Amino acid sequence: EMSVSRSLKAIAGEFDLSVTTRWSAAAPRVIREGQPCTVRLGADTVLTGYIDDFIPSYDAENVEIRVMGRDKTGDLVDCSVVHS
């Protein structure tokens, strides 16, 4: 399951990706917040950015990995100054 969203109301595009695998096929994942990533749909790159959150969940048979992040314009949001 995957969603990619862009909006005129938000500076940064976002993605949310969930993958489920069986325990027997589960290998250690090296996914960290802030890690660069590229989201592709077939041969097309739809988003280049960074991982904001990584949430693993487990049950008796499966491992679900949920990865969320934003495109590189998220840097503008993170470093902007708030004027009061």
pTM: 0.76
pLDDT band at 17 (very low <50, low <70, confident <90, very high): very high
Q: Would you state the pLDDT for residue 11?
A: 85
Burial class (CB in 10 A: 0-12, 13-18, 19+), 69: buried
Q: How many CB atoms lie within 10 A of CB 53?
A: 11
> pLDDT band for position 27 (50/70/90)?
low
pLDDT at 60 over 90: no
Per-domain residue ranges of the chain: 2-78
pLDDT at 20 over 80: yes
CATH 2.30.300.10 fits 2-78, yes or no: yes
